[in-house]
Amino acid sequence: MTVQIGDRLPSATLTRATDDGPKPVSTDEVFKGRTVALFAVPGAFTPTCSARHLPGFKEAQETLKEKGVDAIACVSVNDAFVMGAWADSQGVGKDDILMLGDGNGDFTRALGLSMDAKGYGMGERSQRYSMLVRDGVVEQLNIEQPGEYKVSSAEHLLAQL
């Protein structure tokens, strides 16, 4: 079943790239007591994700924070090394956007937001979405139709605040 507005996010362990190597981080650690703008992409370094989705949240980070967002987090079914390299290539600082690897797709599946990208040689991946999460509870949820990039953008999420 797909996560809905009003649902509490499932407990899961994601991974961040750090200077000391990959570091596990729990969803409780990321979302508890904070307002987080979370967005997910099908894959780091993929065209729309690199040209529009991540850059849009990077550009909107100050405005999001002015509107009460404590943190911005990006999730992808990639490992922490890939997420770290993608952040570096996009000029995203470690404190700007939390780049969270969901390497095995456990969090994505628990949300009910996985998709089959085997036809593209990518295996199981995340659907493209954005959500506003307040203290672990989904307040806004914007899931894209396959191949689209509209409602998951930073601009769309900003309009919802």
Write the pLDDT tens digit of every residue in 47-77.
Answer: 888 889 999 999 999 999 999 999 999 999 9
Residue 89 to residues 17, 46, 55, 83, 148: CA-CA distances in angstroms? Answer: 14, 12, 11, 10, 24
In a domain, 151, yes or no: yes
In a domain, 62, yes or no: yes
- pLDDT band (50, 70, 90) for residue 152: very high
In a domain, 1, yes or no: no
Q: Range of 99's domain? A: 13-160
Annotated active-site residue in 30, 49, 54, 82: 49
In a domain, 4, yes or no: no
Q: Is 74 a catalytic residue?
A: no
Q: Which two tokens mark 159?
A: 């309009």
The answer to whether the predicted template modeling score (pTM) of the entire model surpasses 0.85 is yes
